[in-house]
Each structure stands twice: as structure tokens, then as C-alpha cells.
Amino acid sequence: MSSADLAHGRDLAPQRAAAQKGDLAPERDGPRDTGLDDASLERWLARTWQTVPGIIGALSSVDHKIVARRYLITAFVFLCLGGLSAVAMRIQLSGPERGLIGPDRYNQLFTMHGVTMMFLFAVPIVQATGIYLVPLMVGTRNIAFPRLNAFSFWIYLSGGLFAWVSFALDMAPDVGWFSYVPLSGPEFGPGKRSDVWAQMITYTEVSSLAVAVATIVTVLKQRAPGMSLDKIPLYVWAMLVTSFVIVFAMPAVMITSTFLILDRLVGTHIFNPAEGGDVLLFQHLFWFFGHPEVYIIFLPATGMVSSIIAAFARRPVFGYLGMVLSLISVGFLSFGLWVHHMFATGLPKLGASFFTASSMLIAIPNGLQIFCWLATLWDGRPIIRTPLLFVFGFFFTFVAGGLTGVMLASVPLDLQVHDTYFVTAHFHYVLIGGSVFPLLGATYFWFPKITGRMMSERLGRWHFWLAFIGFNAAFFPMHIVGLWGMPRRVYTYPVELGWGNINLFITAGAVVLFLSFVLFTINLVYSASRGAPAGDNPWNAGTLEWATSSPPPSYNFARIPVVTHSEPLWAERDTLPVATGLRVDVRELVISTVAEAYPDVREKSATPSIWPLFAALAVGATFLYSIFSPWAVVWGAGPIAITLIGWFWPKGDPEDEE
């Protein structure tokens, strides 16, 4: 079948072919892409989808690529802040009884490091990559609910700034990133530090939920014609599963933080056992979110690994169906592990044995993915470049972290090492090895798509080896010192315990790891302005994001592609088939069916608006003021309502959903 047949053919929408002359819609109410030459079409689309110049235009933008770049830059800044706090803590712990940082400031540093890395870097950065890549990979012109997507960024930015400004004002939370009660409750946590934690958590998770909803709808309803469920890229599958996990997990931590601030500000006793409350309820609610969050961070990383391996092995990933089922299985099983973190709380042993089994069971789908990747590399002809080096580093570090995770699933061992540096080593191997290494590889892989320039291969290889050596030198010895009994969450230790030399070695490894990120930053800045031009598809990859220019235009695709294979650019090496019939004078998208991705209706995409920013400011001010008075919820309802009215005020445009 020719490209023209695919664009106008019965295979895509048989019920519409006769009535609509083969197009997605008849040309009735405005100019359409049918019949326009490429140059004229691109001029029309550039004018229709442009971001208006000027500060108001920039603040009003709903282009998913612009919002994603803002997310990426902001998350990178928070990574730097979190990394600096980690280095400061390691310098304090490099020798016994050091007095560089006092216990109060150390507790704030420890808390801000965890809060920043978990809530302000790890989750936002993986969602940001999805905001940028998912619409391109599924062949649409913008993300679903683009104003909601823009709103999510402003909420995220205000929450992060709020947290770090509180640190500068000596109001930062100091009870750990988990903020356990009763230490964070009104009796043992005077002042506003725990209130800052509670409110920051609540409205940064609003941001994550907004992105998750937009991602789910984009994947299920805006895929290019022909991209049936068995042709969705594995990265998109990973983001879809992750988004569903977020939708079900994030409300748990939002409820936790809301209950905490109600106890502190309103005088409820939800977590106060003296008044009928339950301290362990906090941990159940928090870890019902907390363990799925590990996979919220890890699952997108597996999608990145799949994309990188396919591109450099020059073949589709082995076992596509098994990979998809593994992703879905991990998403489901992640909700059955939360008591894994609570073995030391005195829960019934029969219940603990169930969660031991669940913790071991989730290793099966994770291991299946590892073997599928290895089979892909074995069957292909891999080209060793920097992105693939980080994938190799991921294999080693994540498998090591997974093995110690299975060890910690054993209740007797967990009871011995639960509050030691063995656990610190484990979760850094899982989170950094399982997420940051793939993310760094993905940065080198998709940097040409975002900027149109290549990153330096030489600096990239130096970066990899410094990061790999520094990471293992910093965190592997923590297993040993943890087995020796060194507790975590302490700011110093006595000389007599003999932990000084190994902690000095750990600190040296942390400094090497930090220097690797300095080199990475230099590579980013230099390559963004002076890197070699990349071309549209420098890696000869097969997925749709490489079918458009690098960087992509505001409208992503001049003509909506038609998908015939899971790696469409490899299946259609000459000319990618396209679908026609969309208007070019308004922002119009193809809405497709969920399973087969048949063109279903045409839908207008939201235009730029300043109201999402105003709504975020109103919500942020309300949450900030509520730390000092619960009446803020009442007084803030008015401004929030006004901004939402402006956001959704009907414009009177006629609907056209032929």
C-alpha cells in the first residue's frame, strides 16, 4: 500500500472513507493541510502554533517542549542543591567528632537533601522527559491538557523555591524527608519546620498528578493513526504505567501530609495515640506511596534504557510483549511492598512474611527486563557510545542494589541492619544506579533532539568513568560500615568505634562523584552553544521523535505520521506515510481510538494563556499562608476561583468534531 493510500485509506478509518473522500475531515470550515505544499504548510503551522514573543508570551506558553525544558532546567538546579548538601554532610562525616556542622543544621541538611532528591529532582525530572518526548513519540502536536501541564510547572517551581527559601530562613524541615510522627507532630516538632514539609509535599504532588493525567490521556487518545497498543514504544509504555502508579500512589502521601498539618494547626489527633490516634498509620500511608515512588523513578529509566539499547544495538528490543507485561507487573506489585520499610515496627510476623514474599516476587519482572536487554545486545551489533556506557553502568549498579534489596526483604536481616548505613547504601544503589545512570545516558542520547547539537563524546566518557568509580567508591563501603553497626541519620560518631578511615574513603568517593557532575555541567553548557550540529537523527534510531527536525518546530510534525511498525523509521526508511485533513489555521489534533489508534475525532488544543500562572500563584499563596493560619484555605478560595474562571472562560469557538 502506498503512502497516499495509507493517508486516505480504508485501513485507518473504514467507516469514514466514503463520506470524507479519504481525509480525516472534509474541508468545510477553514484551510487544511490537504493539498498544501510543504513550505506553505509549515508557514501556516508556524504561525498557528507559535509562542508569542515577549515576557507575557513566554509566561503564557503551553508548548509541551517549552514547559519540559523549564522542568529539566529547574530539576537540574535542584539536583545541584541536593548534591551540594550531600557533599556538605559527607565532609562532616569524613572523620569522627568533627564540628563543621552542628546537629541542628545537619538535620536540616539531611532532610533537605532527601526532600530535594526525592520530590524536587527524581520524580519531576523523569516526568519532564516524558512531557518532552511522549507527544513526539506518539506522533501528536502537543500534550493533552496543555494548560494543566503549564500549571503543573508553576506549582512545582513555587513548591521548590518555598522549600529552599525556608532553609535560608532557618525554617527548613529537620525530621528527615519522611517526617515521621511523633517527632514531626505538635509535641516534639515546635515551630514551623514540619509545617513547611507538609505543605511543600502536598502541592508539589499536585504537580505530579497533573502531569500524570496529561500523560495518560496523551498516550491513550492522541497516538498517531496506526499506532496500536502493540506498536507503542517501550519508553511510552513505561511512562504510561508510571503515570497510573502516580495517580494511585500520590494521593496517599498528600493525605499523610494533610493529616499531619491538621494535627499541628487545627488540633486534630489523627496520629496521637493518647487521643485514639495511631502513629503507625502515618508510616502505612507514607510508605504506601513511598515504595511505589521507587518505581515511579525506576520505570521511566527502564524505558530510557530500552530506547538507548534499541538504537545502539540496531534492532528492536527482544521480547516486546514480555517487556510490556513486566512494566505492568512492576506497576501492580509495587503497591504490595510498603511494609518492607516497616519490619522493625513490631508488626505481626505472618503479615511481614507476606511482604517478604512480595519483595522477592517483584525481582522476577525486573530480572526479565535485564535478560531481554542482554539478549538484544547479544543479537545485535552494538555501537559503544556514551549513552550505552551509562546503560552498562546501570546494569552493574542496579543489579547490586536489587540483590541487597532481596537481602533486606528477609525480616531477621532487616531487623539487624534497618537503621544502619547498609540501608543507605542499598537505596542509593537502587535510586542512583537504577535511575540516575539511565537518566544520564538519556541526556546524552536525546540532547541532540532538544538542542540540535551533539554532546562531546570525549567529555562524556570521562564523565561516565568518574561517575561510575566515584559512585561505587562512595556507596559500596557503606554496606561494610553498616554491617559494622554505624547508624544512619547521625551527624558524628566517636573515635573509639574505628569508623574514621572508611568514612574518609567514602567522602573521597563522594567528591569524585561530585566532580563528575561538574564535568557533566561543563559538557552541557559547552555543547548547547558550540556542540557539533546533530542533524535530524544522529543515532539512526527508529522511533517517531526522530522523524521531525532537531530541535522540533512548535507544531512537532508538519504532517501527522501513520505508524506501521513499533520502529516506524526503520520500517519506512524512504518516506513515512502520513494522514491528512487537519486544519492549519487553528490548533487541531487527531484523537484516536484506544486500542487500534484509528482516527476518531478532531479536537482543538488549548491556546496559550496566562491564567495557569495566575492560578499557580493563587494556590501557592494559599498553601504558604495556611502554614500560619488554617483560615488561609477560606480566604484563598476566592482568588483561586477567580483564576480558574479566567482559565476556563468559554471563548465561543464553534466545536468541530467531525
Q: Which long-range contacts (CB under 8 A, 24 or more apart) does 71-76 make?
A: 71/124, 71/125, 71/127, 71/128, 71/131, 71/153, 71/156, 72/125, 72/128, 72/129, 72/132, 74/124, 74/153, 74/156, 74/157, 74/160, 75/120, 75/121, 75/124, 75/125, 75/128, 76/125
**pLDDT recorded at residue 201:** 87
The fold for domain 56-530 equals Cytochrome C Oxidase; Chain A (1.20.210)
Q: What is the pLDDT of residues 38-93, one digit of tens each?
A: 899 999 999 999 988 899 999 999 999 999 999 999 999 999 999 999 999 999 99
The mean pLDDT value for 3-17 works out to: 36
**In the structure, what pLDDT confidence band is assigned to residue 29 with cuts at 50, 70 and 90?**
low
Rounded-to-integer distance, Cα 602 and Cα 423, Å: 52
pLDDT, tens digit (0-9, with 9 covering 90-100), for 429-478: 999 988 999 999 999 999 999 999 999 999 999 999 999 999 999 999 99
Q: Is the pLDDT of residue 627 over 90?
A: no
Q: What is the pLDDT of residues 243-282, one digit of tens each?
A: 999 999 999 999 999 999 999 988 899 999 888 899 999 9
Provide the grid cell at 68. 519540559
Cross-strand pairs, 561: 578
State mean pLDDT over 305-332.
95
Please give the pLDDT value at position 445: 97
* pLDDT reading at 1 higher than 70: no
Whether residue 624 is predicted with pLDDT greater than 70 in this model: the reply is: yes
Contacts of 175 (CB under 8 A, 6+ apart): 107, 111, 183, 184, 189, 193, 194, 197
Confidence of residue 347 (pLDDT cuts 50, 70, 90): confident
Q: What is the pLDDT of residue 534?
A: 92
Question: Residue 234's closest CA among 132, 372, 363?
Answer: 372
Rounded Cα gap, residues 225 and 17, in angstroms: 14
Say which residues have a Cβ less than 8 Å from residue 40's Cβ, sequence separation at least 6: none
Contact 447, 527 (CB under 8 A): yes
Q: What is the average pLDDT score of the chain?
A: 90
Question: Cell numbers of 607, please?
Answer: 491556546
Angstrom distance (rounded) from CA 429 to CA 436: 10
Mean pLDDT over 361-383 rounds to 93
Q: H/E/C letters for each residue in 342-411?
A: CHHHCCCHHHHHHHHHHHHHCHHHHHHHHHHHHHHHHHCCCCCCHHHHHHHHHHHHHHHHHHHHHHHCCH
Residue 15: its pLDDT value, please? 34
Give the pLDDT of residue 573.
76
**Residue 611 cell numbers, joined:** 491564567
For range 541-563, the mean pLDDT: 94
How high is the pLDDT of residue 652?
Answer: 55
Q: What is the pTM of this model?
A: 0.93
Whether pLDDT at 7 is above 50: no
Model pLDDT for residues 138-176, shown as the tens digit of each residue: 999 999 999 999 999 999 999 999 999 999 988 889 999
For position 20, what pLDDT does the model report?
Answer: 35
Is the model's pLDDT at 3 over the cut of 60? Answer: no
Report the largest interatomic distance among the alpha carbons of the chain, rounded to a whole angstrom.
86
Nearby residues of 345 by Cβ (< 8 Å), 6 or more positions away: 280, 283
Helix axes 123-138, 234-261, angle to 10 degrees: 140
Q: How far apart are CA 221 and CA 424, in angstroms?
A: 41
Would you say residue 388 has pLDDT above 50?
A: yes
pLDDT value of position 649 = 84
Q: How far is CA 495 from CA 96, 98, 255, 501, 510, in A?
A: 5, 10, 43, 10, 22
370: its cell numbers = 535485564
In this prediction, residue 496 carries a pLDDT of 93
Contact of 625 with 571, CB cutoff 8 Å: no
Counting residues of the chain whose pLDDT is more than 90, the rounded percentage is 74
Q: How far apart are CA 53 and CA 433, in angstroms?
A: 41
Summarised one tens digit per residue, pLDDT across range 105-148 is 999 999 999 999 999 999 999 999 999 999 999 999 999 999 99
Q: Which of 311, 571, 10 is nearest to 561 (CA)?
A: 571
In the structure, what pLDDT confidence band is assigned to residue 228 with cuts at 50, 70 and 90? very high
Question: Which candidate, 594, 606, 591, 605, places its Cα nearest to that of 658?
Answer: 591
pLDDT surpassing 70 at residue 381: yes
Residue 386 has pLDDT above 70, yes or no: yes
Angle at 512 between CA 507 and CA 518, to 5 degrees: 125
Picking from 312, 406, 324, the residue whose alpha carbon sits closest to that of residue 369 is: 324
